[in-house]
């Protein structure tokens, strides 16, 4: 989070069952979850939530009472966090930067070399959980959700039909 510019004087990180970011520019709270079997999930969750936090921390604090001092929309918020997670967090440059840190904390092994990390973090495979999705299937989750919600709003399907949809 420090490498990504998170201001710990104006926020903190805690553990929970689901990654989340909330608060105000002066006190941004991030939560994340950990899996002892899969550090990737935690790392990308933190990178994603740090994107949300950086957006909040960079709002105009002196104008918080005006629209310009508030988050524009959840769409903008999500675009910032996805940009952090999908483009910045999976970039070869960022992975080369964190490779020594991973080796320091998780042990020296070939898996934590920058090239291997790049292969790991850019792998594409189907999955059912949006927050664990890769750069390709994450947008597919969003598109599918949008289409289901549109169909529901347009009366094309009923609420009880959502799981089948």
Three-state DSSP at 56 gives helix
| One domain, residues 25 and 11 | yes
Strands (E), 16-165: 20-24, 27-32
Confidence of residue 15 (pLDDT cuts 50, 70, 90): very high
Pick from 8-12, 26-30, 132-136 the range whose average pLDDT is largest.
8-12
pLDDT at 9: 94
Active-site pick, 9, 49, 62, 158: 49
| One domain, residues 2 and 81 | yes
| One domain, residues 117 and 165 | no
Confidence of residue 34 (pLDDT cuts 50, 70, 90): confident
Residue 116 predicted with pLDDT over 90: yes
Tokens of 35: 């899996």
What's the rounded Cα separation, in Å, for the pair 121 and 86? 9
Residue 19 predicted with pLDDT over 90: no
Residue 131 predicted with pLDDT over 90: no
Residue 99 predicted with pLDDT over 90: yes
Give the structural domain span for 101. 90-123
Assess whether 113 carries a catalytic annotation.
no
Residue in 127, 126, 133 with CA at minimum distance from that of residue 40:
133
Q: How far is C-alpha 152 from the chain's CA centre? A: 27
| One domain, residues 107 and 144 | no
Residue in 69, 48, 67, 66 with CA at minimum distance from that of residue 58:
69
């Amino acid at each position: 989070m420090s490498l990504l510019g998170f201001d710990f004087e104006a926020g903190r990180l805690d553990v929970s069952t689901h990654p989340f970011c909330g608060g105000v520019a002066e006190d941004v709270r991030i939560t994340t979850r950990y899996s002892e079997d899969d550090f990737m999930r935690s790392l990308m969750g933190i990178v994603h939530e740090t994107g949300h936090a950086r957006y909040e921390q960079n709002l105009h604090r002196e104008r918080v009472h005006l629209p310009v001092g508030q988050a524009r929309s959840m769409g903008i918020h999500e675009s910032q966090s996805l940009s952090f997670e999908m483009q910045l967090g999976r970039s070869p440059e960022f992975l080369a930067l964190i490779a020594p840190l991973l080796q320091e904390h998780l042990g020296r092994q070939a898996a934590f070399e920058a090239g291997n990390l790049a292969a790991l973090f850019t792998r594409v495979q189907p999955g059912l959980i949006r927050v664990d999705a890769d750069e390709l299937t994450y947008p597919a989750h969003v598109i599918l959700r949008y289409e289901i919600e549109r169909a529901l709003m347009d009366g094309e399907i009923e609420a009880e039909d959502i799981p089948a949809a």
